Amino acid sequence: MISGQEGSLRSIGKYQILGPLGRGSMGLVYKARDPEIGRVVAIKTLRKILSADPQDVEAAVRRFKFEARSAGNLRHPNIITIFEVNHDAETPFIVMDYVEGESLDSIIEKERRVAPATMVQYLNQVAAGLDYAHSRGVVHRDIKPSNILVDRSGNVFILDFGIASINESFPGAEQTGSMAPIMGTPGYMSPEQILNEKLDHRTDLFSLAVVAFECLTGQRPFPGDNFTTVIGNILNSKPLSLTALIPEMPLPLEAEFEKALAKSREDRFESASRMLAAFAHAAGVDAGDGRGSPRAPMRTRKMSAWKSIKRVWGDETQTGPSKTSPVAEAASAPKSGQSAPWEAVKQAPVADSFSERMRMGTGSHPGAIFSHGDHAVGSQPFLRFKQSPARIVALSVAFACLVVASVVLWYALEPEAAPVVARQGSSNQNGANPALDAQTAGAQIGELVVPGVDPLPKDKTVHEMNDRELLGVIVRGGVSEEMIIDALRECRQRNVPALVDASVFPLQHDSFLVRLETIRILGEMGDKRIVPQLMLSLDDHDPLVRKEVAVTLGKLGDRRALGYLNARLFKEEMADVKAEIKNAIERINGFPMGR
């Protein structure tokens, strides 16, 4: 029998009450002791159900016991163990393992924002527990920070498997009688959960993504101060922008959240572990050991050859003695007893090439070439010619040669556009690329490298192909558009590293469906190396493709695209495409455009 009042119970069944722990969505939670073995436990009781229909009460108790028994069969290090499901008089209760720790909601409230590495450390353990439960056919249905417990050693536990009902803390929830069978907490419920549809494991993945978003930003992606507003936002609105709330968050992470919070369950991740792995990769966190240790960036951008030349010359737009190149200092301030810089140039060894002259520091800076006497060109408001006409002609010819050499060198060192233009129009009607052979692998297209591929195998489905065969379908073409689209999706599912490099070819496919799917996948992957190729697709003849390109460029957030986007904005005739281009510009800039 239950002895004492609700707030001062002395026992429940055989268990001695040590004190209250808190109030859950189903009832009160107590700390208690099992007198037979001396074990400290947590006991959750079912609150009194106020209903005029006795069948409602009976159904609630039956559901409470059935689902508690289902959760009691789970044995996983990240799931709180249930020892007993019983009732005392008219009060059902569940006896669980007691863990000394802090709930995730109190951690978020205290810290305001949880670092990405810590978020991955915590939720990777939650994901492991969920995947195990899902493999046993158990769906939690109420994943939220208050049901995630973190102990002092950083171990994480999931509470309340399948036993929570709708949270009545939202005004108006108690008036939604038609939604009484729904179980969950509104701010974390999936769309299918709100609509009372049949649920599978992907409803827990949606809720876990909401928890991850809240960890990083301190607020849920679908806000609202009452029940109706919250569920309306979940069903009809896009989630809040991660990078708008926290600008330092990487755009690829926002793309992964868009997938995780998709309205349709078919568009979400297949498992909790895959979702957390995607979050970790996009955030630059190593989640391999479940502890979320920071890792070095996977890719470093190579400085272009033209920028390396500027490094040798020095940046003439900068001023100040600390930013002046050594060559410029030698030109502007020759020491006494030495010949003028122009004479030094004449006496220097003759280099065989322009690059050799740069290495030797001879004639590599305009100030060294055009300085005269003690004054460098540009250090005086007017150039004073005190030389013979022949010297003036020689200087003019030298200047013209330098300009021509610079132009030639620019095209020699920045050949990105050539490979793309050469390949445009090279595909046949089936999208095949006959010019592509084994020797093409490794060819440079801007920042991308054509991957090595294998020939198209016979009698193999896309799902049976290895990575190189899939890339062969994408790069070589010569197959149906359906097969190319399937290969793109399979590569994305497997996270094939060379997919971004290979995507240059389907971007030029004759089928707009292939081009659309390629652009959509590139937006999900968040690799900015593809931006120069995507910019060319802004001139695609199909407005749907142009619209998707604008959306993807906005997601990628690369400022290199601003010039193309602004130019296209004035040329675009389709209103919806124009609106997406404007949105992309505003997203990259971080502020709205003027009217």
**Active site amino acids:** 142
Who contacts 554 (Cβ-Cβ below 8 Å, separation ≥6)? 580, 583, 584, 585, 587, 588
Q: In what order do the strands lie in the sheet with 91-97?
A: 11-12, 15-23, 28-33, 40-45, 91-97, 82-88
Q: How far is CA 285 from CA 280, 281, 403, in A?
A: 5, 6, 47
Amino acid at 251: L
Who contacts 372 (Cβ-Cβ below 8 Å, separation ≥6)? 340, 342, 386, 387
Specify the 3-state DSSP secondary structure of 208.
helix
CA distance 328 to 369: 10
> In sequence order, what E strands does 98-173 have?
101-103, 148-151, 156-158
CA distance 408 to 410: 5
Q: DSSP readout, 414-449?
A: --THHHHHHHTT-S-TT---TT--GGGTT-EETTEE
How far, in whole angstroms, is CA 554 from its chain's centroid?
A: 13
Instruction: Kindly state the DSSP code that residue 457 receives in the 8-state scheme.
Output: P
